[in-house]
Amino acid sequence: MKQISIQELQQKAVELRQAALTMIYEAQSGHPGGSFSAADVIAVLYFKEMNIDPANPKWEDRDRFVLSKGHVCPILYAALLLRGFVPPETIHSLRKYGSPFQGHPDMKKCPGIDISTGSLGQGLSCAVGMAIAGKRDGKAYRVFAMVGDGECQEGQIWEAAQSANKYALDNLIVFVDDNGLQIDGTCDEVMPNLDLERKFAAFGFETRRIDGHNIEEIVRTLDEVKAANNGKPKCIVCNTVKGKGVSFMEHSVSWHGVAPKEEEYKRAMEEIAGGLQR
Amino acid sequence: MIVQQQKAKIATRDAFGHEIVELGLKNSNIYVVDIDIGKSCKTTEFMNRLPGQHINVGIAEQNGCGIAAGLATTGKIPFVSTYAVFGSLRMAEQIRQEICYPNLNVKIACSHGGLTPANDGGSHQAIEDMGVLRTIPNMTVIMGADYYATRRLVALAAEHCGPVYLRFTRDAVPVIYDEQDTFVIGKAKKLREGTDIALIANGDTVHLALKAAAELAEQGISAKLLDMHTLKPLDREAVVECLDIGKIITVEDHNIINGLGSAVSEVVAEEGRGIVRRIGVQDKFGESAPYEKLLELSGITVDNIVKTAKALLS
Residues B254 and B284 in one domain: yes
A60 touching B, CB under 8 A? yes
Work out the minimum CA distance from A67 to partner chain B, whole angstroms: 13
Query: Are residues B199 and B149 part of one domain?
Result: no
Q: Is the pLDDT of residue B249 over 90?
A: yes
For residue B94, the one-letter residue type is Q
Average pLDDT, chain B: 97
| pLDDT tens digits for range B111-126 | 999 999 999 999 999 9
Query: If residue B200 lies in a helix (H) or strand (E), which one and from where to where?
Result: strand B197-201
Q: What is the mean pLDDT of residues A143-156?
A: 98
Task: Verify that B47 and B150 share a domain, yes or no.
Answer: yes
Taking the C-alpha atoms of residue A134 and residue A128, their distance in angstroms, rounded to an integer, is 10
CA gap B47, B55 in Å, rounded: 8
- Apex B32 CA angle, B28 and B38, nearest 5: 140
Which CATH number do you get for residue B285?
3.40.50.920
Q: Among the three residues B174, B198, B233, which one is the final residue of a domain in this structure?
A: B174
A60, A68, A110, A126, best to mutate vs chain B, most B CBs in 10 Å: A126
> Of B19, B61, B98, B252, which one is the catalytic site residue?
B61
Residue B7 has pLDDT above 80, yes or no: no
pLDDT, one tens digit per residue, over B79-93 is 999 999 999 999 999
Q: How far apart are CA B310 and CA B314, in angstroms?
A: 6
Whether residue B3 is contained in a domain is answered as no
CA distance B247 to B229: 20
Answer whether A207's CB lies under 8 Å from A224's CB: no
CA distance A188 to A193: 7
In a shared domain, residues B211 and B309: yes
Angle, alpha carbons A247-A249-A252 (nearest 5°)? 120
pLDDT band at A2 (very low <50, low <70, confident <90, very high): confident
> CA torsion A204→A208→A212→A213, rounded to 10°?
-160
Instruction: Note whether residue B2 is domain-resident.
Output: no
Would you say residue B182 lies in a domain?
Answer: no
CA A243 from chain center: how many Å? Answer: 14
Return d(Cα A109, Cα B99) in angstroms, integer.
Answer: 15
Q: Within an 8 Å CB–CB cutoff, is residue A131 touching chain B?
A: yes
Residue B225 lies in a domain: yes
Integer Cα distance of B32 and A138 in angstroms: 19
- In this model, does residue B16 exceed pLDDT 60? yes
Please give the biggest Cα pair distance in chain A.
Answer: 53
Check CB contact under 8 Å for A125 and B70: yes
Is position B98 annotated as part of the catalytic site?
A: no
Residue B141's DSSP bridge partners are B165, B232
Q: Is the pLDDT of residue A277 over 60?
A: no
- Whether B21 and B170 map to the same domain: the answer is yes
Residue B30 three-state SS: strand
Among B146, B174, B202, which residue terminates a domain? B174
> What would the mean pLDDT of A248-259 be, rounded to a whole number?
94
Please state the pTM of the whole predicted model.
0.96
Quote the CA–CA distance of A49 and A175 in Å, as a whole number: 13
Taking a C-beta distance cutoff of 8 angstroms, is the pair A175, A146 a contact? yes
Q: Looking at the structure, do residues B138 and B202 belong to the same domain, yes or no?
A: no
Count CA atoms closer than 13 A to A40's CA, side-chain side.
28
Question: Does A167 sit within 8 Å of B63, measured CB to CB?
Answer: no
DSSP string for residues in A205-243:
-EEEEEETT-HHHHHHHHHHHHHT-SS--EEEEEE--TT
B6 pLDDT higher than 70: no
User: ∠ at Cα A97 (A94, A98), nearest 5°?
Assistant: 90
Percent of chain B with pLDDT over 70: 98
Q: Which domain holds residue B14?
A: 9-174
In angstroms, rounded to a whole number, what is the distance separating the alpha carbons of residues B101 and B274?
Answer: 35
| CATH number for the domain harbouring residue B107 | 3.40.50.970
pLDDT of residue A185: 94
The pLDDT > 90 percentage for chain B reads: 97
Q: What are the pLDDT digits (tens) for A113-125? A: 999 999 999 999 9
Alpha-carbon distance of A49 to A52, in angstroms, equals 9
| Domains located in chain A, CATH noted | 6-277 (3.40.50.970)
Chain B contact present for A174, CB below 8 A: no
Instruction: Answer yes or no: are the C-beta atoms of B109 and B166 closer than 8 Å.
Output: yes
Q: Are residues B247 and B169 in the same domain?
A: no
B2 has a pLDDT exceeding 70: no
